[in-house]
Amino acid sequence: MLEERNRTKILIVEDDQFLSNIYVTIFAKENFQVLTAGTGEEGWILAEKESPDIVLLDILLPGSINGLEVLKKMRENEITMNIPVIILSNCDDDGTISEGLKLGANGYFIKTQANPDDVLRNVKTFLR
Protein backbone atom coordinates (compact mmCIF):
# COMPACT_ATOMS: atom_id res chain seq x y z
CA MET A 1 0.00 0.00 0.00
CA LEU A 2 2.88 2.38 0.75
CA GLU A 3 4.10 1.90 -2.82
CA GLU A 4 0.70 3.00 -4.20
CA ARG A 5 0.75 6.19 -2.11
CA ASN A 6 4.12 7.14 -3.59
CA ARG A 7 3.02 6.62 -7.18
CA THR A 8 1.69 9.44 -9.33
CA LYS A 9 -2.07 9.08 -9.56
CA ILE A 10 -3.74 9.86 -12.90
CA LEU A 11 -7.47 9.92 -13.55
CA ILE A 12 -8.51 9.16 -17.13
CA VAL A 13 -12.06 10.28 -17.91
CA GLU A 14 -12.82 8.70 -21.29
CA ASP A 15 -15.91 6.87 -22.56
CA ASP A 16 -14.14 5.14 -25.46
CA GLN A 17 -13.08 1.87 -23.79
CA PHE A 18 -10.48 1.06 -26.45
CA LEU A 19 -8.75 4.43 -26.10
CA SER A 20 -9.05 4.32 -22.32
CA ASN A 21 -7.34 0.92 -22.26
CA ILE A 22 -4.48 2.25 -24.39
CA TYR A 23 -3.86 5.08 -21.94
CA VAL A 24 -4.24 2.79 -18.92
CA THR A 25 -1.58 0.48 -20.37
CA ILE A 26 0.82 3.31 -21.23
CA PHE A 27 0.55 5.03 -17.85
CA ALA A 28 0.62 1.79 -15.84
CA LYS A 29 3.87 0.81 -17.61
CA GLU A 30 5.32 4.09 -16.37
CA ASN A 31 4.31 3.18 -12.81
CA PHE A 32 1.38 5.58 -12.56
CA GLN A 33 -1.54 4.59 -10.37
CA VAL A 34 -4.37 4.76 -12.92
CA LEU A 35 -8.02 5.49 -12.16
CA THR A 36 -10.64 5.50 -14.91
CA ALA A 37 -14.13 6.88 -15.37
CA GLY A 38 -16.45 6.49 -18.36
CA THR A 39 -18.86 9.35 -17.62
CA GLY A 40 -18.59 12.93 -16.45
CA GLU A 41 -20.37 12.06 -13.21
CA GLU A 42 -17.93 9.24 -12.43
CA GLY A 43 -15.00 11.47 -13.32
CA TRP A 44 -16.18 14.26 -11.03
CA ILE A 45 -16.81 11.86 -8.12
CA LEU A 46 -13.39 10.21 -8.50
CA ALA A 47 -11.59 13.56 -8.84
CA GLU A 48 -13.11 14.80 -5.60
CA LYS A 49 -12.72 11.51 -3.71
CA GLU A 50 -9.25 10.44 -4.91
CA SER A 51 -7.49 13.80 -5.51
CA PRO A 52 -5.39 12.55 -8.44
CA ASP A 53 -2.14 14.28 -9.32
CA ILE A 54 -3.43 14.94 -12.84
CA VAL A 55 -6.59 14.33 -14.92
CA LEU A 56 -6.90 13.44 -18.62
CA LEU A 57 -10.40 14.58 -19.53
CA ASP A 58 -12.54 13.98 -22.60
CA ILE A 59 -15.20 16.59 -23.38
CA LEU A 60 -17.90 14.51 -25.06
CA LEU A 61 -19.05 12.09 -22.38
CA PRO A 62 -22.27 10.15 -21.79
CA GLY A 63 -24.48 11.14 -18.89
CA SER A 64 -25.72 14.45 -17.63
CA ILE A 65 -22.42 16.35 -17.44
CA ASN A 66 -19.76 16.71 -20.10
CA GLY A 67 -16.03 17.24 -19.66
CA LEU A 68 -16.23 21.04 -19.67
CA GLU A 69 -18.77 20.87 -16.85
CA VAL A 70 -16.49 18.48 -14.93
CA LEU A 71 -13.63 20.95 -15.38
CA LYS A 72 -15.82 23.83 -14.19
CA LYS A 73 -16.86 21.86 -11.08
CA MET A 74 -13.24 20.97 -10.39
CA ARG A 75 -12.11 24.59 -10.58
CA GLU A 76 -14.93 25.71 -8.25
CA ASN A 77 -14.18 23.06 -5.60
CA GLU A 78 -11.55 23.61 -2.90
CA ILE A 79 -10.43 19.96 -3.01
CA THR A 80 -9.93 19.78 -6.79
CA MET A 81 -9.25 23.37 -7.87
CA ASN A 82 -5.48 22.91 -8.19
CA ILE A 83 -5.41 19.49 -9.84
CA PRO A 84 -3.91 19.83 -13.33
CA VAL A 85 -6.35 18.89 -16.10
CA ILE A 86 -5.39 18.06 -19.67
CA ILE A 87 -8.25 17.84 -22.12
CA LEU A 88 -8.01 15.02 -24.63
CA SER A 89 -10.88 15.39 -27.07
CA ASN A 90 -12.03 15.16 -30.67
CA CYS A 91 -13.53 18.66 -30.34
CA ASP A 92 -11.11 20.65 -32.43
CA ASP A 93 -13.03 23.87 -33.01
CA ASP A 94 -11.43 27.06 -31.73
CA GLY A 95 -14.43 27.95 -29.55
CA THR A 96 -14.33 24.68 -27.60
CA ILE A 97 -10.55 24.79 -27.22
CA SER A 98 -10.74 28.41 -26.03
CA GLU A 99 -13.54 27.59 -23.57
CA GLY A 100 -11.62 24.63 -22.14
CA LEU A 101 -8.52 26.74 -21.59
CA LYS A 102 -10.57 29.62 -20.18
CA LEU A 103 -12.20 27.23 -17.68
CA GLY A 104 -8.75 26.29 -16.46
CA ALA A 105 -7.48 23.34 -18.49
CA ASN A 106 -3.69 23.12 -18.32
CA GLY A 107 -3.44 21.65 -21.82
CA TYR A 108 -5.57 20.55 -24.75
CA PHE A 109 -4.89 17.67 -27.14
CA ILE A 110 -6.92 16.66 -30.18
CA LYS A 111 -7.30 12.86 -30.06
CA THR A 112 -6.85 12.38 -33.79
CA GLN A 113 -3.61 14.38 -33.71
CA ALA A 114 -2.25 13.15 -30.36
CA ASN A 115 0.06 10.17 -30.29
CA PRO A 116 -0.36 8.43 -26.89
CA ASP A 117 3.42 8.57 -26.36
CA ASP A 118 3.32 12.35 -26.91
CA VAL A 119 0.53 12.66 -24.36
CA LEU A 120 2.56 10.59 -21.87
CA ARG A 121 5.65 12.72 -22.48
CA ASN A 122 3.67 15.93 -21.99
CA VAL A 123 2.02 14.66 -18.81
CA LYS A 124 5.42 13.71 -17.38
CA THR A 125 6.88 17.08 -18.37
CA PHE A 126 3.93 18.90 -16.86
CA LEU A 127 4.25 17.01 -13.57
CA ARG A 128 7.96 17.85 -13.15
**3 state SS of 16:** coil
Q: In this predicted model, what pLDDT tens digit does every residue of 53-96 receive, in sequence order?
A: 999 999 999 999 999 999 999 999 999 999 999 999 999 999 99
Distances (CA, A) of 73 to 16, 38, 40, 98, 101: 22, 17, 11, 17, 14
Q: What is the per-residue pLDDT for 126?
A: 86
